[in-house]
Amino acid sequence: MLEGGSVGESVALDGASTTESGGWSHRHILSLDHFSVQDFDTVLQTATSFQEVLSRRTKKVPALQGQLVTHLFFEPSTRTRSSFELAAKRLSADVLNFSPGTSSLTKGETILDTAKTYLAMGTNIMVIRHKQTGVPQAIAAEMDRLNTGVCVLNAGDGQHAHPSQALLDLYTLCSVVDRDRPRTDNLRGKKIAIVGDVLHSRVARSNLWSLVASGAEVHLAGPPTLVPQDFGGFLGNNRPIPIHWTLDDALVDADFVMTLRLQKERMGQFLLPSLREYHRQFGITRDRLKLCQPSVKILHPGPTNRGVELDSDIMDDPDLSLVSCQVTSGIAVRMALLYLVGSGKGLGT
């Protein structure tokens, strides 16, 4: 367990490394396709310890004291950037925030040179978001090539991956089943319907890896333009994912419904007749939720289009909606990720 409540107090980091981060081998967290079930459980257990820290009056531990965490967000973000920043501060790291609009990018500097500038300032961990797939991977490869020891966390790249969102979703789901012991095993056999704009969603892609690895029964639902048939083979042909082009089939007996934002900024062409029609066919309403398990809970990574992906009153109903819990869980989960890579546990790849 992590001990010590405030900056300057000693924290049993070695204890944490054996009980919680044993076997951790990732220097970077770029996607979840290489994560083992043990890796997922390590994140869940480490996040549980940090959740306990966050319940104290002094919510800060010195785990990353003296380390520099730089947030390179080349794409807008509210939740993810603030959550990573708070997580880094709660671990006592120094934090730099980069804003593309007021940076030398506007003078023609390349992204790699921006990253190297922050490297020269002594950055230990880079948290990177970019609208192009592969940018965090490219920076991580350059950091490795230069033998810098810098760790890169992908905070969302294009339509490819959003590991920290999927991990906080995993933590939220597992905590609903057992608040005190969130473990991947808690999701074995649970039916989880992922509904909406799967095509453009890095959140859905990352969640597929973690939820299926946990033994959940994942179903995808949405219009064929947003959930194409070939998505069923996303995890490989030996793990087909059921696809539904009508919502009700996906909702029957579901334990959880994960809704996704219609990502209009990523749609090259008009893929829907209208938002009203989308809501009529795929919007989550109280009536439709009667098809699910009585204990059903709804998730959404945010930001939401209120009244489109789900009815506004469902989103605000704490008995149904896990949206705020997702945001809260994000801090402990991101503390866990920063801690796992930043405390030298992730010396592999």
Using CB under 6 A, list all residues that contact ligand NCD. Answer: 79-80, 156, 162, 165, 202-203, 261, 263, 301-302
Task: Output 182 or 301, the one with its CB closest to ligand NCD.
Answer: 301
**d(Cα 80, Cα 129) in Å, to the nearest integer?**
9
**d(Cα 322, Cα 59) in Å, to the nearest integer?**
23
Beta bridge partners, 219, equal 193
Beta bridge partners, 138, equal none
Task: Output 143 or 204, the one with its CB closest to ligand NCD.
Answer: 204
CB of 201 to ligand NCD, least distance (A): 7
CB of 23 to ligand NCD, least distance (A): 28
Kindly state the helix (H) or strand (E) to which residue 130 belongs, with its residue range.
strand 125-130
**d(Cα 339, Cα 50) in Å, to the nearest integer?**
10
- Provide the token pair at 344: 């030298």
Task: Output 264 or 286, the one with its CB closest to ligand NCD.
Answer: 264
Amino acid at 11: V
CB of 77 to ligand NCD, least distance (A): 6
- Three-state secondary-structure class, residue 284: strand
- Tell me 137's DSSP state: H
CB of 266 to ligand NCD, least distance (A): 9
**d(Cα 288, Cα 9) in Å, to the nearest integer?**
51
CB of 66 to ligand NCD, least distance (A): 29
- Provide the token pair at 68: 């520099």
**d(Cα 221, Cα 241) in Å, to the nearest integer?**
11
Cα dihedral sign, 284-196-179-58? negative
**d(Cα 204, Cα 206) in Å, to the nearest integer?**
6
CB of 2 to ligand NCD, least distance (A): 26
CB of 161 to ligand NCD, least distance (A): 10
Q: Which residue is nearest to ligand NCD (CB)?
A: 261
CB of 203 to ligand NCD, least distance (A): 5
- Tell me 229's DSSP state: G
Q: Which residues of 295-306 are buried (b: 16+ CB within 10 A; e: fewer)?
A: ebbbbbbbebbe
- Three-state secondary-structure class, residue 127: strand
